[in-house]
Structure 1
Amino acid sequence: MKDSTLALHYGYEKDKEKTMQVPIYMSSAYEYQDTDHAARLFNLQEEGNIYTRIGNPTTRVFEKRIAALENGIDALATASGMSAIFYSIANLVKNGDNVIISNKLYGGSITLSTQTLKQFGIKAKYFDIKNPEMLEELIDENTKAILFESIANPALNVADFEIISEIANKRGIITICDNTIATPYSLKPINLGIDIVVHSASKYLSGNGTVIGGCIIESKSAKEKLKGDRYPQFNKPDDSYHGLIYNEKFDNPFIARSRLALLRDYGAVISPFNSWLLILGLETLHLRIERHSYNALEIAKFLSSHKKVKKVSYPFLNNDENYNLAKKYLKYGSGILSFELSSYEEAKNFVKKLKIFKLVTNIADTKSIVTHPASTTHQQLNKEELKNAGISEGLIRLSVGIEDVEDLIKDLDEALNS
């Protein structure tokens, strides 16, 4: 089936009521047939519902659907995009290990690596997304993961998947790609050799700013890497499950351990209602991405010709430094673009004059959004980290919605000229 059909039908087996829409199973717990049935479920001898902290029927439909769209073998929904990223890393590391992270990332992901992971004894190393060949010299015996974004937020750099996956596969390192901005309609990282995909599902997967959620998708290829000596937690008995070995028990060991150990213990569980909203969002994702991308390209062209704009970053602009990589890997450019004004004061005045674009720290809404990253999403970064992330005081990020593009261009033009 094509993606647009999968997004509407995959993973839902109708119950006796035969509802066309997936039901919302708002229940924290589920009745067992008898004590033997309960024991089999808890001992992982039989699939079924135990407690919504581990799994839920509504959420399971979303997980199956996003896994199918990303060409993965399974998925886990989480309470937020940040919990999805944290679980993906925590599933692989122990005290003394390190992860290699792109220097062009969402601010929250950078703070996770510099602050929280550090508290757990996990070191973060950084590679230049424009020079992925440097991964070769950064990898050592304690490296457990390489994390990057398919399209960087807000710098809009496009990752060179071919180089990253080749180096990681040669060294047996798990790759984690945040595909939030590109979405599976533009790019499927798993098809390009990536092991694990994560999303902030709050963004394009939802599409209308109503949901906080995240997800992790596992590729078929991940299991072979997890058999290596780098990842003993997947190949040695888990005492909490009476000696279960994830790589022996499951075809999806990464998701299985994320669910049965991390979700169990850390508990960043998505609400069934939020999962249901994400199911609705997936149904129109392909239509929205086309419109977002069309509008963003038209706006990028307009801004490129404006005398007050120093620089515009959008992958499908002919003169953009990422144009060749975008043409190689992407179907759509997304609705995210950034541009630079001469100073913070000019950026502040520009934002104040906008009427349709709203000042919000979010992206991928159907409604258009403007953000000043240096004072909001990346405020916790120091000057060097901001520079490495490609963020100046005059940088503006636009999340272009699906309004009429002529209205959006008029709004931007009036704000720039006022």
Structure 2
Amino acid sequence: MSNKGFTTRLVHADRHLNKPEHGAVHQSTNNSVLFEYEDVHELIDVFQGKKAGHVYSRSSSSSAAALQNIINELEQGIAALTFATGMAAISSALLSLLKTGDHIIASQYLFGNTRSFIETLKALGIEVSLVDVTEAKAVEDAVKPRTRMVFTETIANPVTQIADLTGIGMVCEKHNLLYVLDNTMTPAYLFSAKSVGASLVVQSLTKYIAGHGNVLGGALIDTGLFNWQDFPNIVSTYQVSDIAQWGITQIKKRGLRDIGATLAPESAASISVGLETLALRMERSCSNALKLATYLHSHPAVKQVYYPGLADHPQHCRARELFKAYGAILSIDVNPDVDCHALLNALELVITATHLGDTRTLALPVASTIFFENGPEERQRMGIGDTMIRISVGIEDIDDIISDFDNAFSMVS
């Protein structure tokens, strides 16, 4: 199937990669918590990692494994893990791999919940430098002797700053740093994280991968580019015969198993089905986003539009080089005489909600909701103003989306 198109491979991935029983085209949902072994020695071998298999569904199940195979294929990795949420994937990975005294470099534009988790790491004695990741030099200047990793997102939410992904990859390779990249905003159809040297890819499956606002999930993929012998925090227990599996083994044991944020079998099955239409949904959402951004850019009530597809975006050229399309998230600052809350209340088609990556267009006031805990100074550093509205563009007919905004602006002007 490797010579087939993206959607063709996705639609047939389950039956080709996982070979479901009885000719089914989808892997069956397996709700069993436990797994029987007639020979106790076989159970022991699975427990000790000498043989593949499932022993307890908190750690693994056939349902999760089936989705992991598909996600891993998408990101061209060597192994993948699924979690209950995207934040579970991030927290499990970082808590599994870091220890007191370590130093990491992270984007100063991190999404609010991820930024909150960074504060948890600091409380555990892990030093964090928040830098402007749009410049690789800022990342390199922050490197210290105990630096273990760089963590960034591809496109920042909500101001859409685009990290110097290629340059950061070069910095990580030069200094033997783990390059952890959150690819939620630009899933595999839009961008290959492996192409810029990412070591670990994390993503919220809840968003574009599943796509329909009906299931939570997260994933972590090891691209196989990092030499785990260069990472000092892998404990001897997880230094298995295949060096390439050291990292994913430790994350699976200390993160997924011990923290316990397991993806439910029903959720895995739902995500697999939603995933089949990823390319179709992304094409429509990204096309709609560019048209909506262009409309808003010329609207007299809008002070500024933040969208990588616009020529005046600071990283427009970078986005054009890296991504197949410019994504489906944009933000706007309205003029001071426009009440952003009244504008949101005047929308009828667009839903006021905190989710993104849905088939429906969603919008919310950023400063008073998802970034409220960050405080005004931190928001200013991230480029978030008090009147900013984030818009996650869906797959509706674009004329209807624009008409809804047009009517709403008329009501509040």
TM-score bracket, shorter-length normalisation: over 0.9
Q: Which residue in 1 is equivalent to 2:154?
A: 150
The runs of 5 or more residues in structure 1 that have no matched partner are 239-243
Cα shift at 1:313? 1.0
Aligned length: 406
Q: Distance in 2 between matches of 1:313 and 1:76?
A: 33
Deviations along 1:183-207, one digit per CA (max 9) or x if unpaired, are 1111011111111111011100010
Do residues 181 (structure 1) and 182 (structure 2) align? no
Q: Distance in 2 between matches of 1:72 and 1:307?
A: 46
Cα shift at 1:5? 2.7
The runs of 5 or more residues in structure 2 that have no matched partner are none
Cα shift at 1:138? 0.7
Cα shift at 1:250? 4.7
Q: Which residue in 1 is equivalent to 2:96?
A: 91
Q: Which residue in 1 is equivalent to 2:239?
A: 245
Q: Which residue in 2 is equivalent to 1:233?
A: 233
SS of structure 1 residue aligned to 2:233: helix
Decide whether the 8 Å contact of 1:292 with 1:402 is kept in 2.
Answer: yes
Deviations along 1:374-402, one digit per CA (max 9) or x if unpaired, are 11111110222111221111100001110
Correspondences of 1:322-361 after superposition (within 5 Å): 322-343=315-336, 346-361=339-354
Do residues 35 (structure 1) and 34 (structure 2) align? no
Do residues 69 (structure 1) and 74 (structure 2) align? yes
Q: Which residue in 2 is equivalent to 1:302?
A: 295
Decide whether the 8 Å contact of 1:81 with 1:215 is kept in 2.
Answer: yes
Q: Distance in 2 between matches of 1:58 and 1:344?
A: 53
Cα shift at 1:345? 6.6
Deviations along 1:45-103, one digit per CA (max 9) or x if unpaired, are 21111111111111111111111111111110011111111122223210111211111
Q: Distance in 1 between matches of 2:67 and 2:337?
A: 41
Cα shift at 1:404? 0.5
Q: Which residue in 1 is equivalent to 2:13?
A: 10
More deviation, 177-186/3-12 = 3-12
SS of structure 2 residue aligned to 1:60: helix
Decide whether the 8 Å contact of 1:250 with 1:256 is kept in 2.
Answer: no
Decide whether the 8 Å contact of 2:334 with 2:387 is kept in 1.
Answer: yes
Cα shift at 1:253? 2.0
TM-score by length of 1: 0.94
SS of structure 2 residue aligned to 1:382: helix
More deviation, 363-372/28-37 = 28-37
The one-letter amino acid paired with 2:106 is I
SS of structure 2 residue aligned to 1:221: coil
Do residues 274 (structure 1) and 267 (structure 2) align? yes
Q: Distance in 2 between matches of 1:195 and 1:95?
A: 22
Cα shift at 1:409? 0.1
Q: Distance in 2 between matches of 1:132 and 1:390?
A: 19
Q: Distance in 1 between matches of 2:335 and 2:374?
A: 21
Q: Which residue in 2 is equivalent to 1:127?
A: 131
The one-letter amino acid paired with 2:357 is A
1:414 to 398, 407, 410: 407
When residues 212 and 344 of structure 1 are mapped into structure 2, their CA distance, relative to the original with a 3 A threshold, is: farther
Q: Which residue in 1 is equivalent to 2:222?
A: 218
The one-letter amino acid paired with 2:304 is K
SS of structure 1 residue aligned to 2:72: helix
Q: Which residue in 2 is equivalent to 1:56?
A: 61
Decide whether the 8 Å contact of 1:314 with 1:338 is kept in 2.
Answer: yes
Decide whether the 8 Å contact of 2:159 with 2:306 is kept in 1.
Answer: yes
The one-letter amino acid paired with 2:326 is G
Decide whether the 8 Å contact of 2:20 with 2:27 is kept in 1.
Answer: no
TM-score by length of 2: 0.95
Do residues 193 (structure 1) and 187 (structure 2) align? no
The one-letter amino acid paired with 1:314 is Y
Q: Distance in 1 between matches of 2:188 and 2:280?
A: 13
Q: Which residue in 2 is equivalent to 1:314?
A: 307
Deviations along 1:200-257, one digit per CA (max 9) or x if unpaired, are 11100010111111000111112x1x211xx2232x422xxxxx524x3453222221
Cα shift at 1:303? 0.2
Cα shift at 1:152? 0.8
Deviations along 1:102-137, one digit per CA (max 9) or x if unpaired, are 1112110111112x1122111221111232311122
Cα shift at 1:34? 2.2
Q: Distance in 2 between matches of 1:195 and 1:78?
A: 18
| RMSD of aligned residue pairs (Cα, Å) | 1.5
More deviation, 293-302/337-346 = 337-346
SS of structure 1 residue aligned to 2:180: strand
Q: Which residue in 1 is equivalent to 2:84?
A: 79
The one-letter amino acid paired with 1:321 is P
Q: Distance in 1 between matches of 2:232 and 2:401?
A: 53
Deviations along 1:259-293, one digit per CA (max 9) or x if unpaired, are 12221211111101111111011100000000000
